[in-house]
Structure 1
Amino acid sequence: MSSLFIQQLLLSIVIAGLWIGTVTLLSERLGSRLGGMISNLPSTILVSLLFIGITQSPEFAAEATVTVPLGMTLSTLFLFAFIVLIPKGLPWALAGSLATWLGLAILSSFFQGVGRVGWTTLYFAAAIGSWLLTERVLKIPSAPKTGKRYKWWQVLIRAAFAGSVVGSAVLVGRSGSAFWTGIFATFPAVMLSSMVILTLAAGPAFARALGKIMLLASTNIVIYGFFAGYLFPLMGMAWGTLVSFIIATTWVWLLKPLFDRSK
C-alpha cells in the first residue's frame, strides 16, 4: 500500500467525517429541504476522482467517470430501499438497502459495455421515478428543523462514524479496473452514514424526509461526473475539479423551487 494511497485514505476519512458531521447538524437546523440539498453535494466522489487523477492520470480519472451515473443509480436505489424499509427498523433498512446495492452492483458488472449515455438515461429514470414514488405514492412530508443541540463529543462521534464508512469504501474500491473504481467512487457512504445518524438522532420520519430530497438532489453528482469527465483532460485535476463542483452546486440550487413546492 503506497504512501500516496494512505494519504488519500486518511484525507477521505477526515473530509468525509467533517463534511457529513457538519451537514447532518445543518440538516436538523435547516429542515429536510435545504438539508437534503446540501447533504448530497459532491464529497466522496470529489476526493476519490482527484486522487485517482493524481496517482494515475487525469485521463484515467476521466475514464472512471463513465460509470458514475451507474454508481449513482445503485446509490439512489439503495436510498429508496432504505426509505421504504426504515419504518420496520434500522437493522432491516440497513440490511435491505445494502443487499439492494450489492445485488445491483454485481448485476451491472455484466453490462460493462454500456456507455455514458446509457447509464445516464438509466440514472435519471431511477432518480425521477423514485422521487415521484416518495412524493406521490408514499406521500412522505417534508420535516421542519429539530432545534436540538449537541455536545462536542456527540458531533465527534458522528464525524468518526461517517469517516469510517467512507474510509471502508475507499479501501474496498482500490482496484485496477476503471469500472469498479467508478462504482465505488459513488458508493452511498454519505447516504448511508447520513441516514443512520439522522435516524438515531432525529427519528425515522426526519431521515425519510431528508432522503426524499436527496433522491433528486443527487442528480448534481452525475452532473459533476459528466463535466469532470470532459474537463479533467482539458484543464487538469485542480481546475477540472473546481469548475465541475461549481456547476454541480449551481445545478442543485436550480432545483430548489421544485423542492419548495413538494409536500
Structure 2
Amino acid sequence: MAVLGLSLVAEHVSPKVAGILSGYPLGTAIALFYIGLEISPEFAASSAIYTLAGFSASLVLVCSYYYTSALLLLRVKVTNGLNCFLSTIAAVSSFLIAAYLISLFSFTLSISFILSLLAVLVFGGLLSKIRDAEVDDKLPITFKITLFRAVTAALIVLIVTGIAKVVNENWAGVLSAFPITLLPFLMIIHLSYGSAKAHTIIKHYPFGLGALMIYAASIAYLYPKVGLIAGTVVSFILATLYLLLLASVQHYIRAYRRRNALP
C-alpha cells in the first residue's frame, strides 16, 4: 500500500513531494517491527542502531541508481526498460557492498546517527543539481498496474525480513535500512514515466531521510523500554513531526524567495 500511495503522490502531486515522503519510515518500520515480533524487541532495538548506520548505504543506493541511469542516457542510449534494470542492479549491488562494510564495525546510537547525518549532507549535495521534472501524462490505474506494483513491493519486504531471520543483528539492522518502499516505487515511476521523473525522486530523498533517522533512533531507545506497540507508535509520531517541520521550513524558504524576487 505504501508503494501504491507514493506512486499516486508522484502522479497527482509531484515527484518532489513523493521523494521527500519516501523517507517516511514505511518499509523500514515493517522490517524492524517484524524482526521484533518474530525474534525479540531487544534484538530489533540492537538492529535499529545498525539500521540507522545503514541509511548511509541506502544513500549510496540512490546515488548509484542516478549516476548509472544518467551515464546510460548520456553514453549508451539504451531503452528505458533496460536503463531501469541496469540502474537497479548497480544500485542494489552498491547497497550490498556498503552494507557489508558497515556491518563489520561496531556502532553506538550516537555514532550511527552522526554517520547517517554526514551521508545526508554529502549525498544531498551531490544530488542537489538534478533538475526537477513533473509527471505530465498520467497512466490510467488499471488492475494489472496495481497488481504489479503491489507484488513488487511485497516481494522485496518478504526477502529482506526473511534474510533477517538467519543473520546476526548487525546484518539484520543494516538490511532493515534497505529502501524497501523507495526502490520498487522508483522502478515503477522510471518504467512508467522515464528516468527524469525517477531522478527527481532521488534528488529529494535525502531531505526525507531525516524522518527515518529519527524513527530508527527512537526504536533503538524505546523498544526495550516500552515494547513493540508503544515504541512503534511514539516513533511514528516523532518521524511525522519531523516531516511537518520540514514542510514548514520549505514553505518559509519558498515564500522568502518569492518575496525577494519581487521588484
**Alignment-derived partner of residue 224 in structure 2:** 233
What is residue 4 of structure 1 aligned with on the other side? none
Aligned to 1:177: 168
The aligned runs of 1:224-263 (5 Å cut-off) are: 224-257=215-248, 259=250
User: Are residue 34 (structure 1) and residue 24 (structure 2) matched?
Assistant: no
Quick one: structure 1 residues 27 and 150, their matched pair in 2 at CA, closer, same or farther if it must change by over 3 Å? same
Partner of 1:144: 134
Q: How many residues align?
A: 242
Q: Distance in 2 between matches of 1:107 and 1:61?
A: 20
Question: Highest Rg: 1 or 2?
Answer: 2
Q: Does the 8 Å CA contact 1:67/1:183 hold for their aligned counterparts?
A: yes
Deviation at 1:245, TM superposition (A): 0.6
Q: 2:103 aligns with which of 105, 109, 112?
A: 109
| 1:93 to partner: Cα distance | 1.3
Q: Which residue of 1 aligns with 2:153?
A: 162
- Name which of 85, 88, 106 aligns with 1:91: 85
CA distance in 1, matches of 2:123, 2:22: 18
Deviation at 1:259, TM superposition (A): 4.9
| Deviation readout 1:32-81 (Å, 9 max, x if unpaired) | 22212222311122122222222333222211111112211101111111
Percent of aligned positions that are identical: 25
Runs of 4+ with deviation above 3 angstroms: 257-262
Matched residues in 2 for 1:48 and 1:20: separation?
Answer: 15
Cα distance between partner residues in 2 of 1:45 and 1:78: 15
2:52 is the counterpart of 1:69: yes
The answer to whether residue 32 in structure 2 is matched with residue 49 in structure 1 is: yes
Instruction: Name the structure 2 match of 1:9.
Output: none
Measure, in 2, the Cα distance between the counterparts of 1:110 and 1:61.
Answer: 18
- 1:42 alignment partner AA: P
Partner Cα distance (2:142, 2:190) in 1? 18
Indicate if the aligned counterparts of 1:29 and 1:147 stay in contact, CA closer than 8 A. no
Q: Which residue of 2 aligns with 1:14?
A: none
Measure, in 1, the Cα distance between the counterparts of 2:248 and 2:122: 19
Equivalent residue runs for 1:190-205 within 5 Å? 190-205=181-196
TM-score by length of structure 1 reads 0.84
Distance 2:18 2:97 in 1: 29
Tell me if structure 2 keeps the 8 A contact 1:68–1:225: yes
Give the conservation status (yes or no) of the 8 Å contact 1:64–1:181: yes
> Structure 1: which 5+ runs fail to align?
1-17
State how far apart, in whole Å, the 2-side matches of 1:140 and 1:176 are: 37
Contact 1:128 1:216 in 2 (8 A): no
Which segments of 5 or more consecutive residues in structure 2 lack a partner in the other structure?
73-82, 255-263
Inter-CA distance 162–52: structure 2 relative to 1 (3 Å threshold): closer
Question: RMSD between aligned alpha carbons?
Answer: 2.0
Is the Cα–Cα contact under 8 Å of residues 163 and 172 in structure 2 kept in the other structure? no
Which residue number corresponds to residue 15 of structure 1? none
